[in-house]
Amino acid sequence: MRGLGELNVEINTQRPAYSADFAEYITLGSPKPMSQPLRVRRAQVQDLPDIVAMLADDPLGARRERCEEPLPDSYLNAFEAIAQDPNNELAVVEGDDGRAIAVMQMTFTPYITHQGGWRATIEGVRVNGDLRGTGIGREFFKWAIARAIDRGCHVVQLTTDKHRSDAKAFYEQLGFVASHEGMKLSLPSSPG
């Protein structure tokens, strides 16, 4: 698989899976602006303002997110639903000051196809705007790919908006391939 070797992701089938709640910190490499190695942890409710601010910090996100004080209840409701679902994980990279500086949601889904295989879907990926291009995203994806392997997934998939050419190029550098055409249908019950 192209990309994994470049990321130096160790695939060790003897390694035990991460704990179900991955409450422990996972230490990653240290990108250039950080004084300490990166730490990935499960998002906590107090991270929500930073998470929503990162989601809103681009032209597309600015149109659909509501980064205001207090945050709309819909964010807390979604956070609680994710936290209670063992196949959903909202992970953050913690900065030197303990605040969330990057976020992604991983969903683990069993499929009847591929002989009942599992897939990891990555969504809502953002790095704090001041830290983009520093290597944090690449290190975070190393963790995400290893997490998917440990969960027994046979593929990691994601979508990116067609207007996000920089994101598409980043994912391609990591070894992701645009192998399918994704389609969406917005429903009237959507928040906002």
Q: How far out from the chain centre does Cα 25 lie?
A: 16
What pLDDT score was predicted for residue 30?
57
The position carrying tokens 């190695």 is 37
Report the distance separating Cα 117 and Cα 96, nearest Å. Answer: 38
The residue type of 1 is M
Encode the chain (192 residues) as per-residue pLDDT tens digits: 334 444 444 433 333 334 444 544 455 555 555 666 788 999 999 999 999 999 999 888 888 888 889 999 999 999 999 999 999 999 999 988 889 999 999 999 999 988 889 999 999 999 999 998 888 999 899 899 999 999 999 999 998 888 888 888 999 999 999 898 888 888 887 665
Residue ranges of domains in the chain, CATH in brackets:
4-173 (3.40.630.30)
What would the DSSP string read from start to end of 88-144? Answer: EEEEEEE-TTSSEEEEEEEEEEE-SHHHH-EEEEEEEEEE-GGGTTSSHHHHHHHHH
